A and B are shown apart, each in its own frame.
Chain A
Amino acid sequence: MSAGRDPGGRTSADVRSSAPVWWLVFRRELADLWIGGKALNLLILFSVLMSITAFLLATNSELSLTPPRMMIVTTLQAAISFGLFIGLVIAAESFSGERERATLEPLLLAPAGRRQIVAGKYLAALSPWPVALLLSFPYVTILAQGDIALVPALLWATILGTLVAVVYTGFGMLVSIWSDSSRTSLFVSLLAYILSLLPAQLPGGFLASPVGAVIEATNPLEAARQFLLKGFVEVRPVEELWGLLYAPIALTVLVLAVVFLYAAPRLRLEATAGLGRSIGRGVEVAR
C-alpha cells in the first residue's frame, strides 16, 4: 500500500487538505460524549434536579404565594448552577482522563497545533450547556404563570449562563491540562464549584459588607444570581446592574486567555511539572 508519497519523498500528509483539526477533534469528542452516553446521563441528572426544584417551588407557591417572578429567577438560577456543572465535569476529565486511558499520546503525535486540540475538546465540553438551557425553558415557562418578565429573564439567563458556563468549563479544562489524574482534576473542580455556590448560603448582612461585596463582585455565579434577583424580583433599573456583569465578562476573557494563550501551547503528555504536581500533592494531603 502506498499512501501518496511523491517522487520527492514528500508525503501527502505534509499538506493539510482536510477539515481543521479543532473541528475533527470537536466532532470526535461530540460523538464520544453523546453516543457514549456521558452527556446524556448528566442531562438526565440535570432534568431530575430541575424537576425537583420546580416541584418544590410550585408546592411552595401554593402554600406561601411565592410570586411568579421569584419562581422564574430561582428556577433560572438553578438551571445555570446545574447546567454549568455538566460542562465543568466534562472539561475536568478531558485531558486527565485521556492521560489515564493512555489515549492522549497519539493525539499529541499528530501534526496538529495544541490550541486546536484544546479548542475542539473545549467546545465539545460546552455542548451540553445549550441543551440544558433549552430543557429548563418549559419548567420556567410553567412556573412563570404568564408573567411578562419571562422572556427578558430567559434572555438574560441565556447571556449570563453562557458567560458563566464558559468560565467554569474553561476552569475545568485548565485543571485537566495540569493534572495527571482525573480524580484529582474532578476533586479540584468540584471543590471550586462548591466554593462558588457558598455565597448564596451566606446571610444577607454579610454580603452587604465590604468582604461580601468583593465575593459578589468576583464570583461570576453569584454575580449572575444577584443580577437576576435584583433585575427581575427587585425590579432595579438595568443601569444599576451593569457592575454585576463585570465579574462574568472579565473572568470569561481571563479564563479563555489563560486556556488558549498559556495552557494550550504547553499541553504535554505528562501534566506540567510545577502546578500539576502541586495540585496533585495538595489533593493527596486533603485526602
Chain B
Amino acid sequence: MQHAGSAHAAAEPPGSPGEPILVAQDIHRSYGSRRALRSLSFSLRPGRVLGFLGPNGAGKTTAIRVLTTILEPTAGRFEVDGVGSEHPDRIRAKIGVLPEGLGFPQQGTGLEYLTYFGQLYGRRSADARRIGLELLDDVGLRNRANSLVGTYSHGMRQRLGIARALVNDPRVVFLDEPTLGLDPRGQKELLELIQGIARRRNAGVVLSSHLLSEIEGICDDVVIMNSGQVVAKGTVAEVIGRSAEDGAQSNGVRVRVPAPSVAAAAALLEAVPGVRGTATDSVGWLSVEMGDSEEPEGQPDRNRLLDALIRAEIPVLGFEVAGGRLQDVFLQLTAEAIE
C-alpha cells in the first residue's frame, strides 16, 4: 500500500500566505550501491509540526541530514523558505537543527554556548547574549544560564540543544529524536515546548521520533517511512483514515480488565453475538475480533460488548477501537512494506 498523496500541494506560488516553507521534491540519497532514501517528497507549512516516523534504518536521519544540508542528495531537490538546495549556506541560515545524540562542550556555560552559536549565525556579541538569555528563558533554563553545560542533566541538554537550534530564528526546525532517553515527564515537557515553537514562532517543525503516541498528540502532519521510502503521508487524521479504508483498521476493539477477570471477560465476550474471537496479550489487554457490522461504524456492536461487561460487573479499565491509532497504522504499514 502506498499513500503517496500529499496533504499540501508543492506547486503553490512562493509569496502567498500559508505557502509551504519546506518543499522536498523526489529526493534520493545513496551510499554506494545502497539506496538510503528513495523519492522523498512532501511539503510543510508554517506553524505546523510534521512527524517523521519509521522503524530503525528507515532513512529518517538520512532524510533530515539531506534536508539540513549535511548530506547532498543523490538526486532531487528541496526548498526552504524559497531558497533552493543548490544554496546550502543560505539554507543553513534559515533552519535550526537538533541532531540526534548531539554532544555538548564540557567547558563553558549554557549562555556562553548560545552566545557563541548566535555569533556564528552573524549576531553581534551583545545581541547574541540577549537572544541567548531569552531562549534559555523560553526553554526553562534561565536559572541555569551561568552553570557549566557539563553539569546539566540529559533533559536540560536537550532543552539547550533546542535553544541552540533557535538562535537564528529559523523558519524550519528539525528535531531528530529529541525525546530519546528522557523520562516521561521530560518527554511531555519537551513535546509541549516543540508544539509551542511551531505555534508561537510560526515556524515549521520536522520531528523525528519513535514515540508514536506523543507524535500523534502534537503533530499536524505525518510522513511514515520504511526502507528509505515514504509509505504514507498527510495529516494524522488522513493517514489513519486512509488506512481504515484500506483495511488497516479492523472491526475490533481492545478491552482492558483486571488480570483475575481476563478469562471470565473473554468467555463472556465470545458469547456476544457478532464476536468472532478474543485474544489476550501480556499486558492485560483483551483483543476482540468482530464480524462485519451492518450498523454505522459498528458502534452498537461495541456498545453491546461494553454492556455485557458492565452487567457481569467486570471492571473495565480501558476500552478502545483497534486500528484507530497512529501506532496501529504505523505497525500495519511498515509490516506491509517489509512483506
B103 within 8 A of A: yes
What 0/1 pattern do residues 96 to 132 of B give for CB contact below 8 A with A?
0101011111111000000011011111110010010
How big is the B interface, by class? 35 or more
Q: Which residues of B contact A16 (CB under 8 A)?
A: 122
- Do A18 and B103 form a contact, CB below 8 Å, given A5-B169, A111-B92? no
Asked if B70 is an interface residue, CB under 8 A from chain A, the answer is: yes
Tell whether, in the assembled complex, residue A111 and residue B93 are in contact, meaning their CB atoms are under 8 Å apart.
yes
A18–B115 alpha-carbon span in the complex (Å) = 12
Minimal beta-carbon separation of B60 from chain A (angstroms)? 15
A19's partner among B103, B107, B119, B166 (CB-CB below 8 A) is: B119
Give residues 70-110 of A contacting B (CB, 8 Å): 101-103, 105-110
| Known A105-B99, A110-B120, A110-B121; contact A31-B107, beta-carbon cutoff 8 A | yes
In the bound assembly, the distance between CA atoms of A112 and B119 in angstroms comes to 11
The reply to whether A12 and B169 contact each other, CB–CB distance below 8 Å, is yes
Known: A17-B124, A102-B102. Contact between A3 and B65, CB under 8 A? no
Restricting to A5-62, which residues have a CB under 8 Å from any CB of B?
5, 9, 11-19, 21, 24-25, 28, 31-32, 35-36
Task: Pull 23 A–B residue pairs with CB atoms less than 8 Å apart, ordered by A.
Answer: A3-B167, A11-B168, A11-B171, A13-B93, A13-B123, A15-B122, A17-B123, A18-B124, A19-B125, A24-B116, A24-B120, A28-B116, A102-B103, A106-B117, A109-B92, A109-B95, A110-B92, A111-B89, A111-B92, A111-B93, A112-B120, A268-B70, A269-B71
| Alpha-carbon gap, A106 to B164, bound state (A) | 9
Contact residues in B for A32 (Cβ distance below 8 Å): 105, 107
With A1-B135, A103-B103 as known contacts, state yes or no: A12 contacts B120, CB within 8 Å.
no
Establish whether residues B169 and A109, one from each chain, have CB atoms under 8 Å apart when the complex forms: no
Q: In the docked arrangement, what's the CA distance between A12 and B69, Å?
A: 20
Residues of B within 8 A of A17 (CB): 122-124
- The chain A residue with its CB closest to the CB of B82 is A9
- Counting chain A residues whose Cβ lies within 8 A of the other chain, the interface size class is 35 or more
B117 to A110, Cβ gap below 8 A?
yes
Q: Which of A1, A18, A107, A111 contacts B125 (CB 8 A)?
A: A18
Q: A2-B169, A111-B122 are in contact. Are A18 and B70 (CB under 8 A)?
A: no
Alpha-carbon distance between A25 and B119 when the two chains are bound, in angstroms: 10
Provide the residues of chain B in CB contact with A109, threshold 8 Å: 68-70, 92, 95, 97, 99
Question: What 6 A-B pairs are tightest by C-beta distance, nearest first?
Answer: A3-B169, A102-B103, A13-B168, A16-B122, A111-B92, A110-B120
Task: Across the interface, name the chain A residue whose C-beta is closest to B120.
Answer: A110
Contact B122 A12 (CB under 8 A): yes
Distance, CA A268 to CA B168, complexed state (A)? 22
Considering residues B138, B166, B167, B168, which has the most beta carbons from chain A within 10 angstroms of its beta carbon?
B168
Beyond A3-B168, A14-B93, whether A269 also contacts B119 by CB under 8 A is: no
- Scan residues 131-164 of chain B and give those whose CB is less than 8 A from a CB of chain A: 131, 134-135, 137-138, 164
Q: Which residues of the other chain, B, contact A112 by a CB distance below 8 angstroms?
A: 120
Which B residues are in CB contact (< 8 Å) with A12?
122-123, 169
Q: Which one of B119, B131, B166 has the greatest number of beta carbons of chain A within 10 Å?
A: B119
Contact B122 A103 (CB under 8 A): no
Within 206-242 of A, Cβ neighbours of B (below 8 Å) are at none
Q: In the bound complex, what is the Cα–Cα distance between A269 and B97 (angstroms)?
A: 14
